[in-house]
Amino acid sequence: MTFRGVCSWHGVCDSDSELGSLETLERGSTDTLTNGCRADADAAKRLAKRLFFLEGFKRCDVARHLGKNNEFSQMVASEYLSFFDFTGLSLDRALRNFLKAFPLMGETQERERVLVHFSKRFCHCNPEALTSEDGAHTLTCALMLLNTDLHGHVCT
56 sits in the region (left: phi over 0; alpha: psi -120 to 50; else beta) called: left
Continuous segment of H or E residues that includes residue 3: strand 2-3
Task: With respect to residue 73, please indicate whether it lies within any of the assigned structural domains.
Answer: yes
Task: With respect to residue 155, please indicate whether it lies within any of the assigned structural domains.
Answer: no
Task: With respect to residue 94, please indicate whether it lies within any of the assigned structural domains.
Answer: yes
User: With contact defined as beta carbons under 8 Å apart, do 44 and 79 qualify?
Assistant: yes
| DSSP three-state, residue 131 | coil
Which burial class, exposed, middle or buried, applies to 77 when counting CB atoms under 10 A from its CB (0-12, 13-18, 19+)? buried
pLDDT of 14 above 80: no
Task: With respect to residue 134, please indicate whether it lies within any of the assigned structural domains.
Answer: yes
Q: Which residue has the higher pLDDT, 27 or 123?
A: 123
Q: Which residue has the higher pLDDT, 107 or 12?
A: 107
Q: Active-site positions? A: 107
What pLDDT does residue 53 have?
95
Backbone angles phi, psi at 131, to 5 degrees: -135, 150
* Rounded percentage of the chain residues whose pLDDT exceeds 90: 47
Q: Could you give the CA distance from residue 90 to residue 1 in angstroms, rounded to a whole number?
A: 12
Domain count, the chain: 1
Domain hosting 85: range is 37-146
pLDDT of 59 above 50: yes
Task: With respect to residue 49, please indicate whether it lies within any of the assigned structural domains.
Answer: yes
Within 8 A by CB and 6+ apart from 148, the residues are none
pLDDT in tens, 48-57: 999 999 999 9
Kindly report the CATH number assigned to the domain that includes residue 68. Answer: 1.10.1000
Q: Which residue has the higher pLDDT, 124 or 152?
A: 124
Q: Residue 154 has what DSSP assignment?
A: P
Backbone angles phi, psi at 2, to 5 degrees: -115, 160
Task: With respect to residue 42, please indicate whether it lies within any of the assigned structural domains.
Answer: yes
pLDDT of 65 above 80: yes
0.75 exceeded by the pTM? no
Q: Could you give the CA distance from residue 113 to residue 120 in angstroms, rounded to a whole number?
A: 11
Task: With respect to residue 116, please indicate whether it lies within any of the assigned structural domains.
Answer: yes
Task: With respect to residue 23, please indicate whether it lies within any of the assigned structural domains.
Answer: no
What is the pLDDT confidence band of residue 102, given thresholds at 50, 70 and 90? Answer: confident
pLDDT of 19 above 50: no
pLDDT of 151 above 70: no
